[in-house]
Structure 1
Amino acid sequence: MTNQRHSRRTVLAGLGSTLALSACGTTFVETGRPLGAHLDEGNLGAPTRNNIGVHNGDIQWAAILGERFANTVPTTINFAFNSAELDAEARNILNQQAAFIRNFPEVRFSVYGHTDAVGSNAYNQRLGRRRARAAVNYLVSQGINQHRLQALVSLGETQPVVATDGEERRNRRTVTEVTGFLENNPLVLDGRYAEIIYRSYISSGGGEGGGGG
């Protein structure tokens, strides 16, 4: 009987440790998604990488830079109904995004495509991907290395800005986000994240040059 009680306590202690570890870093206050979920959605191994990133500190730095990005330039472009064509306003916003991205060659970004609720979920998944790809292709045309634009994801109609089943331009969008740092960059390897994210932002044209990517 004593051995059974001891065994039971051992099992419960193990379960408690597992639950405690599972609970670490699971809340991302701004979006309600798991911490780091937006950094690499849908890829195998992402939870492990994100957990390591939290403990290393790079995910917190990415979140800080992401906030700076969102406060400096518009992160969202919108589309006409059932379209993935970029209008003049969208191109202007993407030009601003490209100027910011060129200032931070150590950083990776992702573009997420969205639709309104009109049409089937399967069709809207494809449409969201087309919109995301249109935005990425334009950023590449502005001199951004495509290898820095990762995790191209369509969220379809699943995350509306405005809750409606009808046509809604604000739901037809792509959103560009900071997703992390390039692992082979010297500043990143040295953990000099603050030096990266507090670098002066210069709004200018031209390509990325040889700074990395």
Structure 2
Amino acid sequence: MWWSKTMTLKKLTISISFLAALGACAPESRYTTLGGRDAGADALHGGFGYATANNVKVMSISERLEYIKSLTRLFASEAPATINFAFDSAKLDANAQAQLRQQAQWILAHPDITFRVFGHADKVGSNAYNQRLGKRRAQAAVNYLIAQGVDRRKVEAVVSFGETRPLVLTQGRSRENRRTVTEVKGFYNPANDGLLDGKYARGIYRRYVGEGDNTQVSSNQ
């Protein structure tokens, strides 16, 4: 009985000391998740497995966002990401069509990546009207890309910014502001229900920036 009580007390003391050490290891303001909670906070409530999963998730999201930013810059350096429109029009002129064909070639050459197209307008007219016009422009660009063979599941026209993000600060007509912009949205991984793990993303990114041209990328990596 005495031995049992002594061992129980020792175990309790070790457990308390270990939990106190965990609290001391994480400065209050350095390791914060995207949701505003401390990384590892679930260790005291849901078991250490929850804390590990939480921290891995945070790192994976941050890593994924960096990959997307890098790939967007790469896309814009190799294809014309922006096309422009005539005043009060969502019609694609010959120059816009040529630029979209270049976009389509790049997208088709990179089947692991998904894209989104943002629409914009100049400040002539009401904001509500320009929101609709920007969306029509984005949809026109997407429809043309699909006509060039791009899988409709890999490109989408997202909500229009209308006149709210001008490149040229003017209340008058501006061709530079009448535009659509194509950006990388994320990674296409249907074999894993659209989910992306960091290893898969890293393989895609390295292949596209020339660091691993011979790497075999699959959802089973």
TM-score, L = length of structure 1: 0.66
1:172 CA drift (Å):
0.1
RMSD (Å) for aligned C-alpha atoms: 2.9
Instruction: Give the match's secondary structure for 2:150.
Output: coil
Which residue number in structure 2 is paired with residue 195 of structure 1?
203
Aligned residues of 1:111 and 1:135 also touching (Cα < 8 A): yes
Which residue number in structure 1 is paired with residue 25 of structure 2?
none
Which residue number in structure 2 is paired with residue 124 of structure 1?
130
Which residue number in structure 1 is paired with residue 163 of structure 2?
157
Alignment of 1:51-130 (within 5 A): 53-55=60-62, 57-130=63-136
Q: Which has more radius of gyration?
A: 2
For each residue in 1:49-93, what CA deviation from the matched residue of structure 2 results, as whole angstroms up to 9, or x when unmatched? x967524x2221111111110111110000000000000110011
Question: What is the rounded CA distance, in whole Å, between the counterparts of 2:180 and 2:81 in structure 1?
Answer: 8
Larger RCO (CA within 8 A; separation ≥ 6): 1
Which residue number in structure 1 is paired with residue 145 of structure 2?
139
For each residue in 1:127-175, what CA deviation from the matched residue of structure 2 results, as whole angstroms up to 9, or x when unmatched? 0000000000000000111111135220000000000000000000000
Aligned residues of 1:109 and 1:179 also touching (Cα < 8 A): yes
Aligned residues of 2:72 and 2:183 also touching (Cα < 8 A): yes
Which residue number in structure 2 is paired with residue 10 of structure 1?
none
Instruction: Give the match's secondary structure for 2:186.
Output: strand
How many residues in Structure 1 have an aligned counterpart in Structure 2? 160
Aligned residues of 1:104 and 1:196 also touching (Cα < 8 A): no
Please, which runs of 5 or more residues in structure 1 have no aligned partner? 1-15, 25-49, 202-213
Instruction: Give the match's secondary structure for 1:154.
Output: coil
Runs of 4+ in structure 1 displaced over 4 angstroms? 19-24, 50-53, 185-190
The one-letter amino acid of 1:197's match is Y
The one-letter amino acid of 1:54's match is I
1:183 CA drift (Å):
3.8
Please, which runs of 5 or more residues in structure 2 have no aligned partner? 1-27, 37-56, 210-221
Question: What is the rounded CA distance, in whole Å, between the counterparts of 1:60 and 1:200 in structure 2?
Answer: 14
Question: What is the rounded CA distance, in whole Å, between the counterparts of 1:68 and 1:185 in structure 2?
Answer: 25
